[in-house]
A and B are shown apart, each in its own frame.
Chain A
Amino acid sequence: MWCKAWMSEFAIKVTGLGKTYARAARCRPYRTLRDSLTAAAGWPVRWTQRLVGHKEPAPNTSNIFCALTDVSFDVKWGEVVGVIGRNGAGKSTLLKILSRITEPSTGAADIYGRVGGLLEVGSGFHGELSGRENIYLQGAILGMRRREVRRKFDEIVAFAEVDEFIDTPVKHYSSGMYLRLAFAVAAHMESDILLVDEILAVGDAAFQKKCLGKMTAVAERGRTVLFVSHNLGVLANLCSRAILLSHGQKLADGPAPAVIQRYLQEGLDQSGERVWETPATAPGSDIARLHSVRIISNGQTTAEVAIDQPVQIEIAFWNLRPGSQLSTSIHLLDKLGVEVLASANFPSASLAPDPWFGKPYPAGLFKAVCTLPANFLNDGLYSLNVLVLNRVRVQEVFARDAIRFSVHETGAMRAEFGGRWIGVVRPRLAWHTSHAGEQPRP
Chain B
Amino acid sequence: MLQIRPSKGWVPLKLGELWEYRELLYFLTWRDIQVRYKQTLLGVAWAIIQPFFTMVVFSLFFGRLAKIPSDGIPYPLFSYAALVPWTFFANGLTQSANSLVGNANLIQKVFFPRMVIPLSAILSGVVDFLAAFLMLVGMLVFFRIAPTGNIVWLPLFFLLALVTALGVGLWLTALNVQYRDVRYIVPFIVQFWMFASPIAYPATLLPAAWRTVYGLNPMVGVVEGFRWALLGTHTAPGPLIGASALMAVVILISGAFYFRRMERTFADVV
Taken together as a complex, chains A and B put the C-alpha atoms of A62 and B27 apart, in Å, by 44
Report if A30-B180 is in contact (Cβ < 8 Å); known contacts: A101-B108, A126-B31: yes
Give the shortest distance, in Å, between B243 (CB) and chain A (any CB): 30
The answer to whether A123 and B179 have CB atoms under 8 Å apart is: no
Give the shortest distance, in Å, between A378 (CB) and chain B (any CB): 38
| Chain B residues with a Cβ closer than 8 Å to the other chain, count | 37
Which residues of B in the span 85-138 have a Cβ within 8 Å of any Cβ on A?
105-112
* SS of B interface (majority): helix
Chain A residues near B179: list those with CB within 8 A.
Answer: 30-33, 36
The stretch among B3-11, B47-55, B69-77 that forms the contact with chain A is B3-11
Report if A103-B6 is in contact (Cβ < 8 Å); known contacts: A32-B180, A119-B109: yes
A410 at the interface (CB under 8 A from B): no
Report if A31-B178 is in contact (Cβ < 8 Å); known contacts: A119-B109, A140-B27: yes
Taken together as a complex, chains A and B put the C-alpha atoms of A32 and B28 apart, in Å, by 29
Which residues of A in the span 94-149 have a Cβ within 8 Å of any Cβ on B?
96-112, 115, 117, 119-120, 123-124, 126, 128-129, 133, 136-137, 140-143, 145-146
Taken together as a complex, chains A and B put the C-alpha atoms of A23 and B239 apart, in Å, by 52
The answer to whether B38 and A97 have CB atoms under 8 Å apart is: no
By beta carbon, the residue of chain A nearest B264 is: A103
Nearest 9 A/B pairs, CB to CB:
A100-B111, A123-B109, A109-B4, A140-B27, A111-B2, A33-B181, A140-B24, A102-B267, A103-B264
Taken together as a complex, chains A and B put the C-alpha atoms of A129 and B111 apart, in Å, by 22
Give the shortest distance, in Å, between A301 (CB) and chain B (any CB): 37
The answer to whether A108 and B109 have CB atoms under 8 Å apart is: no
The answer to whether A110 and B109 have CB atoms under 8 Å apart is: no
Report if A137-B31 is in contact (Cβ < 8 Å); known contacts: A25-B269, A124-B106: yes
A73 at the interface (CB under 8 A from B): no
By beta carbon, the residue of chain B nearest A119 is: B109
Interface positions of A (Cβ within 8 A of B): 8, 21, 25, 29-33, 36, 96-112, 115, 117, 119-120, 123-124, 126, 128-129, 133, 136-137, 140-143, 145-146
Q: Could you jot down 10 A-B contacts, CB within 8 Å?
A: A32-B179, A32-B180, A101-B110, A108-B5, A111-B1, A111-B4, A117-B111, A123-B105, A129-B31, A140-B28
The answer to whether B181 and A128 have CB atoms under 8 Å apart is: no
Chain A residues near B31: list those with CB within 8 A.
Answer: 126, 129, 133, 137
Give the shortest distance, in Å, between B37 (CB) and chain A (any CB): 10
B177 at the interface (CB under 8 A from A): yes
Chain B residues near A123: list those with CB within 8 A.
Answer: 105-106, 108-110
The answer to whether A21 and B5 have CB atoms under 8 Å apart is: no
Taken together as a complex, chains A and B put the C-alpha atoms of A36 and B262 apart, in Å, by 15
B191 at the interface (CB under 8 A from A): no
Give the shortest distance, in Å, between A71 (CB) and chain B (any CB): 13
The answer to whether B178 and A128 have CB atoms under 8 Å apart is: no
Give the shortest distance, in Å, between B2 (CB) and chain A (any CB): 4
The answer to whether B4 and A141 have CB atoms under 8 Å apart is: no
The answer to whether A110 and B111 have CB atoms under 8 Å apart is: no
Chain B residues near A124: list those with CB within 8 A.
Answer: 106, 109-110
By beta carbon, the residue of chain B nearest A96 is: B267
The answer to whether A30 and B177 have CB atoms under 8 Å apart is: yes
B270 at the interface (CB under 8 A from A): yes
The answer to whether A140 and B267 have CB atoms under 8 Å apart is: no
B153 at the interface (CB under 8 A from A): no
Report if A112-B1 is in contact (Cβ < 8 Å); known contacts: A30-B178, A103-B264: yes
Give the shortest distance, in Å, between A139 (CB) and chain B (any CB): 8
Chain A residues near B105: list those with CB within 8 A.
Answer: 123
By beta carbon, the residue of chain A nearest B185 is: A33
Which residues of B in the span 18-38 have a Cβ within 8 Å of any Cβ on A?
20-21, 23-24, 26-28, 31, 34-35, 38
Q: Which of B3, B35, B112, B181 contacts A129 (CB 8 A)?
A: B35
